[in-house]
Amino acid sequence: MLDASSAIERWFRLRWQAHQPPFYCSVDLRNSGFKLAPVDTNLFPGGFNNLSAAFMPLAVQAATAAIEKICPEAKNLLLVPENHTRNRWYLENVATLAAILRQTGLEVRIGGLSAQEKTELETATGRKILLEPLKRKGTRLGLEDFDPCAILINNDLSAGIPAVLQGLDQQALLPPLHAGWAVRRKSAHFAAYDEVAADFAQLLQIDPWLLNPYHARCGEIDFQARAGEECLASNVSMLLEKIRLKYLEYGIKDAPYVAVKADAGTYGMGVMMVRDAAEVRDLNRKQRNKMAVVKEGLAVTDVIIQEGVHTVERIEEKAAEPVVYMIDRYVIGGFYRVHGARAADENLNAPGMHFVPLAFEESCTMPDPHVSCDAPPNRFYAYGVVGRLALAAGALELEQTAPPPAA
């Protein structure tokens, strides 16, 4: 990947000309040594506060390029965050995101979907945020005395698309509403990723599987009523068998496993690791309850079954997975999600996790001594490439799932 970086960058450059990337995106990666693949793509990334402050200029530069395309002359941007205003670390994320955007020369104000009056909130580190009530005027959304050119949504819309955000045809809505989890499906994303990964693998003349986890989906699941278990079990079997064959082909000794995830879930909720199809037939009440609902109490009816990728990454001997952040087409940083109590084949997005910023300085500590350390951002570069493949899949997914324009 390092040798082909010119060809890779050109490939991306041409790709972005044909497919506009989403405004921002974070991607959870898994690096098993033999395989580096995205396992989750977030189109409403939180956690900007976990990025190294030293790399904020990279974020500002990328945001500047993005804003220029969207609002070349305007100066007002409205940021619409999640409603959980008591999570002071989430507020830290909002403050960081607003600071990045302000540094591009925008006036940024923050409008809460359920804010009734102006409220000053304090972030985890004591920064102040002013949350203001939204004000709709016809087909424009703003605040009392604030008419933005663009509205940046940092709320994943799990609870549905609020009426106040619908029918805004004069302002740029970033990302588009169908990126929200009320509509979005992981399976549509990974179907788009199949296309992108196949295309990219052809460029590098490699097996796309090295970048792409197998996946399948089941609809009409009802965990409480134990409906759909057969679909689940047969797909789990089929995937485990496909993985076993690949492991045989590459001489890999690890035990295959799959992740069963709510197709519209987020926050690491509704996720289960499975090593044998029998496991999904014998879910106990606790497991069924855990899988049945996700954020905002939504019932899970569709699941994606995804090849599990072991992580070989360790930070202080704890299992870690890289998370890469992008604004527009640019990688702006990332961090390791680290979980001391979880194993290499488990979901690390769970209470108890913490974050360690990805450091460009560490980029030459590749486990493989044959890899050249000429290019300083070495390991990071590979993360950035696969992160951007997922971003490209996000672009394609949003095109493919866009609602038809209103008549």
Query: Which positions lie near a second copy, rule CB under 8 A?
Result: 5-14, 17, 53-58, 61-62, 64-65, 67-68, 72-73, 75, 99, 102-108, 127, 329-331, 360-361, 374-377
**Residue 100 or 280 having the CB closest to a second copy:** 100
- Beta-strand runs (E) in 82-146: 107-112, 119-122, 128-133, 135-137, 140-142
Report in angstroms how near the CB of residue 160 gets to a second copy at its nearest. 33
| E strand or H helix that includes residue 280 | helix 278-281
Report in angstroms how near the CB of residue 37 gets to a second copy at its nearest. 22
- Beta-strand runs (E) in 284-391: 303-307, 314-315, 318-327, 330-339, 354-357
CA distance 195 to 49: 32
The answer to whether the bond into 405 is cis (omega within 30° of 0) is: no
Report in angstroms how near the CB of residue 123 gets to a second copy at its nearest. 12
**Residue 70 or 168 having the CB closest to a second copy:** 70
Pairing of strands 76-81, 107-112: parallel
* Residue 82: Cβ within 10 Å count: 21
Report in angstroms how near the CB of residue 254 gets to a second copy at its nearest. 33
Helices (H) and strands (E) counted in the chain, each on its own, are: 8, 18
CA 7 distance to own-chain centroid: 26
DSSP-derived letter for residue 183 is T
**Residue 99 or 273 having the CB closest to a second copy:** 99
**Residue 91 or 291 having the CB closest to a second copy:** 91
Residue 87 has, within 13 A of its CA and on its CB side, a CA count of 10
SS3 breakdown of the chain: % helix, strand, coil, rounded to 5? 35, 25, 40
**Residue 67 or 218 having the CB closest to a second copy:** 67
Report in angstroms how near the CB of residue 226 gets to a second copy at its nearest. 50
Report in angstroms how near the CB of residue 144 gets to a second copy at its nearest. 20
**Residue 149 or 277 having the CB closest to a second copy:** 149
**Residue 274 or 391 having the CB closest to a second copy:** 391
Amino acid letter, residue 257: Y
Ordered alpha helix ranges (H), 83-185: 88-102
Report in angstroms how near the CB of residue 50 gets to a second copy at its nearest. 14
The structure tokens 């604004």 sit at: 327
Report in angstroms how near the CB of residue 105 gets to a second copy at its nearest. 3
The structure tokens 């002071």 sit at: 88
Quote the tokens at residue 10: 């050109």
Quote the tokens at residue 18: 């044909």
Report in angstroms how near the CB of residue 363 gets to a second copy at its nearest. 9
**Residue 212 or 363 having the CB closest to a second copy:** 363
| 266-274, Cβ contacts within 8 angstroms, sequence gap of 24 or more | 266/42, 266/156, 266/158, 266/181, 266/294, 266/295, 267/294, 267/295, 267/349, 268/347, 268/349, 268/350, 269/294, 269/295, 270/294, 270/300, 270/303, 271/347, 271/349, 273/308, 273/345, 273/346, 273/347, 274/236
Report in angstroms how near the CB of residue 147 gets to a second copy at its nearest. 16
Residue 254 DSSP SS3: coil
**Residue 110 or 258 having the CB closest to a second copy:** 110
**Residue 161 or 373 having the CB closest to a second copy:** 373
